[in-house]
Chain A
Amino acid sequence: QSVLTQPPSASGTPGQRVTISCSGSNSNIGSNTVNWYQQLPGTAPKLLIYSSNQRPSGVPDRFSGSKSGTSASLAISGLQSEDEADYYCAAWDDSLNGPVFGGGTKLTVL
């Protein structure tokens, strides 16, 4: 049972826009920024979005993040086949005194 809640799966067709939600509480998302990680099949996770809505250099602007209250979301526009991966949200938790992850969302490009 993960501290942050994500839908287990999401899907879309090439070119479509998809969003993945991440729900938490006051002790994590409600008081800290959210980060998103992309894990392509068989590889290590990679930072995708940090500080809720910032993209590291090299990450396409098709990826965007937002946060409101105790929830966050990741949006992917212009969906491409190479976006098929697992996506994880994470945030620092003030009560647990450590970072917490969502359970992950498997994105399928149909």
Chain B
Amino acid sequence: AQTVTQSQPEMSVQEAETVTLSCTYDTSENNYYLFWYKQPPSRQMILVIRQEAYKQQNATENRFSVNFQKAAKSFSLKISDSQLGDTAMYFCAFMRNNAGNMLTFGGGTRLMVKP
């Protein structure tokens, strides 16, 4: 079974600064996908970024980027130029091959962006 661990229950960052959220996972699979989802106070789960395990290049979406270290089974999220609207819970999620699109989620990191 896969497990996803987010070791930082809460983090805070000043507006306009950069913050990195950590995620590690455990799997014996070689092909899989990793995701970061954002859950603001509205409760909506919003996809932030995705990474295919077979790609060595780290994914980037505007101010959001990942540091994917396959050998270390690490998948951190970097948020640059943090904005107040980035305040939310962030969940790391794992999708393994040949298992449909079922996701295994980490416990989440609550991020507070301070003005």
A and B found bound together: no
